[in-house]
Amino acid sequence: MFQRLGRSGLRIALAVLAFFLLLWWFGMRMPGRNISTAATLTADEIALRGELATDVQTLAGEIGERNMRRYPQLNAAADFIEDSFSRAGLRTRRESYELNGRTCHNIEAEIPGARRQILVVGAHYDSVLGSPGANDNGSGVAALLALARRFAGKPVGQTLRFVAFANEEPPYFQTQQMGSFVYARGCKARAEKIFGTISLETIGYFSDAPRSQTYSSPALGAFYPTTGNFIAFVGNVRSRTFLRRAISLFRQQAKLPSQGGALPSFISGVGWSDQWSFWECGYPAFMITDTAPFRYPHYHESTDTPDKLDYDRFALVVSGMETTIVELVK
């Protein structure tokens, strides 16, 4: 085979192999002991499952499609999130900005810590055109609200912020008009000390079917599972230390199979959410995701409805992240 490649082809093949071996060694090897199956829900997680289902139903079943084309619904979602934060006893702040002659809102709830190092936990609340957005990203917003309720009134060492972002979806995706970019740019202008951002992005769908998991590159499929029963931690190379610490803490609880990657941002899918905005402003960030289009058959479709989500495993993700965040903000 190597003879057929020729010298130049062999050099290219060896270079590609070396690249992916280095990528695996530095970016894909994750600390902690992984598990192969989901845990049984505790009584608290059963209650959490009900909360998540209720909030996804409100966002995707009652409010429905929410974006600049469905501007009243976008505002209804913002109002619902703000009210949910307030009812949890949290003080909220609206960061508003103008887009195409209309006012858009990021909704923030902060729990001040003893130190001014900041952890941001965020999720975008808009949905793509034509979709009610149950998984993308009603799941992320429901998780954001559930986590905020559990931290409300509790002391934290580091400052903890829960932020819901507008306008992540096209045509604003990876532009300065994204709500998360507006937010991150403001943090940078104020020289805020954000030690990390966690983006909750499309986290409610899992499958035990063989070959239910795909990847943007066949080479990635050689390193990661082909069954979509795990939750993924995905960041860029500069966020490696932060991501590895978080997945290690998550794995200590043995709730759900997990995979992680601190990968070059040019790989398709790595920067596909609000973590991109924080990278652009120099902050470490990663997303937690079920990998969206690489697993979920209803991604960006009108069929992305609340009945498609796996609320048991969704609850395990959120439960695991609660304990992870506790440790991160000590």
**Contacts of residue 304, Cβ cutoff 8 Å, sequence gap at least 6:** 60, 127, 131, 132, 133, 134, 135, 136, 296, 298
- Go through the chain and tell me how many residues it has: 330
Q: How far is residue 246's CA from residue 166's CA, in Å, rounded to a whole number?
A: 25
Q: Give domain status of residue 206, yes or no.
A: yes
For the cut 90, the answer to whether the pLDDT of residue 19 exceeds it is no
pLDDT at res. 220: 87
* Mean pLDDT (whole number) for 11-19: 60
Task: Give me the numbers of helices (H) and strands (E) for the chain, helices first please.
Answer: 9, 8
Q: Give domain status of residue 6, yes or no.
A: no
Q: How far is residue 231's CA from residue 242's CA, in Å, rounded to a whole number?
A: 17
Q: Give domain status of residue 185, yes or no.
A: yes
pLDDT at res. 1: 45
* Mean pLDDT (whole number) for 126-130: 98
**Contacts of residue 141, Cβ cutoff 8 Å, sequence gap at least 6:** 55, 59, 77, 81, 123, 124, 125, 164, 200
What does each C-alpha distance from 284 to 187, 238, 274, 311 come to in angstroms? 13, 7, 12, 29
Query: pLDDT averaged over the chain?
Result: 94
- % of the chain with per-residue pLDDT over 90: 89
Kindly report whether the global pTM for this prediction surpasses the value 0.85.
Answer: yes
Q: Give domain status of residue 53, yes or no.
A: yes
Q: What is the pLDDT of residues 257-305, one digit of tens each?
A: 999 999 999 999 999 999 999 999 999 999 999 999 999 999 999 999 9
Q: Give domain status of residue 44, yes or no.
A: yes
CATH of the domain at 67: 3.40.630.10
Confidence of residue 9 (pLDDT cuts 50, 70, 90): low
Q: What is the pLDDT of residues 187-221, one digit of tens each?
A: 999 999 999 999 999 999 999 999 999 999 888 88
**What's the total number of domains in the chain?**
1
The pair of structure tokens assigned to 212 is 């239910």
For the cut 50, the answer to whether the pLDDT of residue 104 exceeds it is yes
Q: Give domain status of residue 231, yes or no.
A: yes
Residue 157, classed as helix, strand or coil, is coil
Sheet harboring 194-200: ordered strands across?
A: 92-99, 102-111, 158-165, 115-124, 194-200, 285-289, 231-236, 258-263
Which among 148, 254, 150 has a CA at the least distance from the CA of 198? Answer: 148
For the cut 70, the answer to whether the pLDDT of residue 8 exceeds it is no
Structural domain for 288, as ranges? 20-328
Measured in degrees and rounded to the nearest 5, phi and psi for residue 259 equal: -130, 155
Angle formed at CA 115 by CA 111 and CA 119, multiple of 5 degrees: 55
Which among 77, 301, 41, 329 has a CA at the least distance from the CA of 197? Answer: 329
Residue with tokens 């951002």, as numbered in its chain: 197
pLDDT at res. 221: 87
Q: Give domain status of residue 293, yes or no.
A: yes
Q: How far is residue 245's CA from residue 125's CA, in Å, rounded to a whole number?
A: 27
Q: Give domain status of residue 9, yes or no.
A: no
- C-beta of residue 239 within 8 angstroms of C-beta of residue 262: yes
What does each C-alpha distance from 1 to 7, 252, 309 come to in angstroms? 12, 44, 46
Which among 220, 56, 258 has a CA at the least distance from the CA of 142? Answer: 56
**Contacts of residue 257, Cβ cutoff 8 Å, sequence gap at least 6:** 34, 35, 36, 37, 38, 225, 229, 230, 231
Q: What is the pLDDT of residues 75-102, one digit of tens each?
A: 999 999 999 999 999 999 999 999 999 9
For the cut 90, the answer to whether the pLDDT of residue 18 exceeds it is no
pLDDT at res. 17: 55
For the cut 70, the answer to whether the pLDDT of residue 23 exceeds it is no
